């Protein structure tokens, strides 16, 4: 896939573009407001301006951020580090909707979505994350068994995120169906689907490759927390 400057720094372009109303921060630094996905973004992710975020982050808050190395800046501590793949869709759109029975998630489904995310740990997820795009799920009564939806976006790009399947129903292809539904919707409106997967999640990475995604880049991802120094 050809380089795309929006996809290269998609967190920043989402928080200063389509999701600017959900962002707080100054200068070259932004964060999703509390309740949304705990993500930080910088105009230059290789030289992040953490000082600009200090007034916008509470002590003890945890965030995900990407593509920088080195020691923790004043007022912050690094709690985890790994790498993740950013993958972009390169296949054909599904000919038919593979998840016709999936239910659109509504605001009143937020507690169920958060509970499933806390169980499956798909990445940064908050009680209001499902407000960032269209989410779909499979239910057994009131019990949410699987979900996937949209998060980051920029012109011509839309992320598939929050992909979760409860362990009780794994192996039924529910995640694949939900992802296919979203890819089909994105292609119908001219968007390229993309997603993220941690390097150590080999099974998910291989599934996405088989489905038609390709590795666009691999980047460092860190979990950082606001602490008392530098306040």
Q: What is the pLDDT of residues 16-61, one digit of tens each?
A: 999 999 999 999 999 999 999 999 999 999 999 999 999 999 999 9
What per-residue confidence (pLDDT) applies to 2?
82
What does the pLDDT look like over 188-222, one tens digit per residue? 999 999 999 999 999 999 999 999 999 999 999 99
Query: Phi and psi (nearest 5°) for 14?
Result: -70, -45
Measure the CA–CA gap between 28 and 40, rounded to whole angstroms: 11
Mean pLDDT of 130-148: 97
- Same domain (yes/no): 165, 71: no
pLDDT at 230 over 60: no
pLDDT at 231 over 50: no
- Same domain (yes/no): 76, 132: no
Mean pLDDT of 160-184: 97
Helices and strands of the chain, counted as H and E runs: 5, 11
- Same domain (yes/no): 116, 191: yes
What per-residue confidence (pLDDT) applies to 79?
96
What per-residue confidence (pLDDT) applies to 133?
97
Whole-structure pTM value? 0.95
- Same domain (yes/no): 133, 146: yes
- Same domain (yes/no): 105, 156: yes
Count of residues in the chain: 231
């Amino acid at each position: 896939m050809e380089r795309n400057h929006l996809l290269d720094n998609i967190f920043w372009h989402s928080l200063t573009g389509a999701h600017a109303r959900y962002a707080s921060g100054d200068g070259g630094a932004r964060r999703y407001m509390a309740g949304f996905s705990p993500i930080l973004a910088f105009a230059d992710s290789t030289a992040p301006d953490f000082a600009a975020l200090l007034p916008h982050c509470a002590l003890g808050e945890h965030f995900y951020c990407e593509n920088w190395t080195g020691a923790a800046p004043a007022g912050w501590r690094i709690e985890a580090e790994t790498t993740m793949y950013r993958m972009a869709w390169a296949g054909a759109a599904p000919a038919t909707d593979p998840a016709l029975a999936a239910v659109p998630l509504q605001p009143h489904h937020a507690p169920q979505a958060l509970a499933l995310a806390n169980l499956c740990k798909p990445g940064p997820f908050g009680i209001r994350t499902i407000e960032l795009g269209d989410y779909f799920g499979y239910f057994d009564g009131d019990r949410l068994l699987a979900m996937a939806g949209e998060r980051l976006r920029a012109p011509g790009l839309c992320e598939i995120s929050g992909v979760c399947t409860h362990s009780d129903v794994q192996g039924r292809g529910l995640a694949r169906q939900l992802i296919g539904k979203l890819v089909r919707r994105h292609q119908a409106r001219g968007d390229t689907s993309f997603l993220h997967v941690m390097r150590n999640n080999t099974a998910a990475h291989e599934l996405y490759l088989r489905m038609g995604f390709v590795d666009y880049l691999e980047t460092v991802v860190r979990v950082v927390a606001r602490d008392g120094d530098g306040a």
